[in-house]
Structure 1
Amino acid sequence: MFDRIQGVNLDAQHPLSAGLTADSRLITAYQGSRPDVTPVWFMRQAGRSLPEYRELRVGTQMLEACLTPELASEITLQPVRRHGVDAGIFFSDIVVPLKLVGVDVSIVAGKGPVLGKAVRTAADVAELVALDPAVLDDALAPIREAVTRTTDELGTTPLIGFAGAPFTLAAYLVEGGPSKDHIHARTLMHSDPEAWAVLMAWTAEVTGKFLRAQILAGASAAQLFDSWAGALSLDDYTKYVAPASALAISHVQDLTYETRSADLAADPESVRNSVPIVHFGVGTSELLKAMHDIGADVVGVDYRVQLDEASRRLGGNVPVQGNIDPALLAAPWPVLEAHVLDVLEKGRTAPSHVLNLGHGVPPETDPAVLTRVVNLVHDASAEQNSVR
């Protein structure tokens, strides 16, 4: 499946190049092969529900924590230690690159990202894009340090880097903060397509640099989050959003690593692989194929569509990730257990499956439940694979 353009190999010390994570359950599944045990990790597993996270965050603002390498690394590692998940997800926020490029943005507790000024007109867009994304080459140093610290500790457990998709960043910028319908963003999209295209190209560059920095520093996979794409029709997504999302992931599509057969005498040739890219959106059941078509290798599926149907819409040949309903994490264990087993079974319709939530971990989730889910997934999938 990895037939992208030839690029530049990752450093020899990178966990993929060094052979630490290349054969992990997660990377194997992302590459389209089914490992002996289904890998599992949870979106928003870093922080939120963990008491050790809340203790660590006392007196520290969200963006400050994201930009303090020691804190970001420790928060990323906490759920890996506690739950035994098959991957770490880098603790950060999608607006971090906006902050570092010079945008006036803060994260307000209980509300989310809030912008100092909404970007509503062509003049506003021109003012915004005057902020040069090239400054990120130096400004992302804390991110690179945090990733390296984390991967040094993770060893053979892969770290997933992530970034917000251009539309989600643009929606925050135009709305000035969170929104239920993103009506101002959708209005700008149609009323001034030229200004919209300029805005989307800029957000693609900013978030693409953020993602690339994480991979170069040691992350073994990339995930592009489009939290608000579900507000769009398929036509609008394809015309006004997909090209920018493709531009964003182009920042990591040229990054490759080499693997060799365990039996060098029989097969001395090395194989060049691309870093796997996952694309996830919320409420995007009707957009799944278009989201894959931007150049992603794996499609994350939210809880609104079952995995067998998602796989059918994707053509039956695309690895999928998902999609436990987060609401069921608080249900009685027999209910949750049956749901997890059903998700595992439906995930078998795809070439490979990484079990995850169909959105993020709710803050009130009992951490012991997440650990129990991890054990269930590992045990049940191992048993499934042994009898098939």
Structure 2
Amino acid sequence: MSKKINDTILKAFKGEETDYTPVWYMRQAGRSQQEYRRIKEKYSLFEITHQPELCAYVTRLPVEMYDVDAAVLYKDIMSPLPAIGVDVEIKSGIGPVIDDPIRSFKDVERLGKIDPESDVPYVLDTIRLLTQEQLNVPLIGFSGAPFTLASYMVEGGPSKNYHKTKAMMYSDPKTWFALMDKLADMIITYVKSQVNAGAKVIQIFDSWVGTLNVSDYRYYIKPIMHRIFSELKETGVPLIMFGVGARHLIMEWNDLPLDVIGLDWRMSITEARELGVTKALQGNLDPALLLSDWKVIEERTKAILDEGKVQPGHIFNLGHGVTPEINPETLKRLTAFVHSYSKK
């Protein structure tokens, strides 16, 4: 028997009036919670995601601790890559590491297709467990976007400058566009399976695409993003776009068939609206502020909420993910403040 769902955040994602500003936090599952850290002493990220009961618990924990208006599935943007033949390891203190990076057209040709029910059944089982039995708020599923996934696949791991990725993009467009198509196919199939399993919202993380200028984005990335969002539109769930350091791409995203633009802390909600952004907006407190005094946090949060309530369609979030140093009690207090301050 499924629980009654608090759908306030779904209304905000669609740009509708809500009784208060809903809130969730990127990377809210894990990171700073003691309960999660104890689990991580025993299991790696991939080991947790392969155990639906445990993964559902980690996903549910911040909803119960912080009273947020949505859960976000605990997994990594790397989770689907092994299914298409990319051997990836999440190394502590480093991030995703790929020992056999993509270097040529033949490497791209070797990539397979994902069959979610057989390749990532544990992800879908976790979603079903959460949405059919455990959650009273919507579940957000997600995927990495082609550029960000490609950056790890080409560089072999995290990068500060993405030189190898850009070099392929500029000097070998045939390989680049073949890689974009392969990843788009994977993302579309993977995301649709999450929605079919019960996810009510999807966020696409193009975390590192801000490294590109506008003209390169339009040529090398935007067409593939248009295809992805056009096909995902058929699912009927709200679609969120998010990247870091990408304020110069905001209007490019506003053109895409998506519902919500996630802002990092570099652009205010007012600035986005003045530019002409018509989508719902999500964000955008700098996570570093959560390490400061409560008075500072409250002032900055008020300013964001005041800007967000000028027109319907604002979801409060951080400008990037929760960091390990953030006190869970601060997040709990912040959620309560957002709810009370914004209540009509």
TM-score by length of 1: 0.85
Deviates more, 1:102-111 or 1:42-51: 102-111
CA gap of 1:136–1:101, structure 2 versus 1, over 3 A, is farther
User: 1:107-122 maps to which residues of 2 (within 5 A)?
Assistant: 107-122=90-105
* 1:184 partner amino acid: K
User: 1:179-328 maps to which residues of 2 (within 5 A)?
Assistant: 179-255=159-235, 274-313=236-275, 315-328=276-289
Alignment check: 8 A CA contact 2:207 2:244 kept:
yes
* 2:130 partner amino acid: T
Partner residue, 1:33 = 16
Partner residue, 2:123 = 143
Unaligned runs of 5+ in 1: 1-12, 256-273
Deviates more, 1:34-43 or 1:237-246: 237-246
Unaligned runs of 5+ in 2: none
Identity of aligned residues (%): 39
Q: Distance in 1 between matches of 2:184 and 2:53?
A: 28
* 2:45 partner amino acid: M
1:160 to 140, 152, 167: 140
Residues 1:170 and 2:123 aligned together? no
**Would you tell me which structure has more strand in proportion to its own residues?**
1
Q: Distance in 1 between matches of 2:335 and 2:272?
A: 23
Structure 1 residue 175, shift from structure 2 partner:
0.6
Residues 1:367 and 2:309 aligned together? no
Structure 1 residue 134, shift from structure 2 partner:
4.1
Q: Distance in 2 between matches of 1:316 and 1:154?
A: 36
Deviates more, 1:358-367 or 1:97-106: 97-106
CA gap of 1:327–1:41, structure 2 versus 1, over 3 A, is same
Partner residue, 1:353 = 314
Q: Distance in 1 between matches of 2:47 and 2:83?
A: 12
Q: Distance in 2 between matches of 1:82 and 1:171?
A: 34
* 2:330 partner amino acid: V
Structure 1 residue 137, shift from structure 2 partner:
4.2
Alignment check: 8 A CA contact 1:211 1:251 kept:
no
Alignment check: 8 A CA contact 1:45 1:360 kept:
yes
Q: Distance in 2 between matches of 1:136 and 1:251?
A: 17
TM-score by length of 2: 0.96
Q: How many residues align?
A: 344
Q: Distance in 1 between matches of 2:137 and 2:56?
A: 14
Alignment check: 8 A CA contact 1:208 1:250 kept:
no
CA gap of 1:254–1:37, structure 2 versus 1, over 3 A, is same
Structure 1 residue 126, shift from structure 2 partner:
2.5
2:66 to 73, 80, 83: 83
Q: Distance in 2 between matches of 1:189 and 1:350?
A: 39
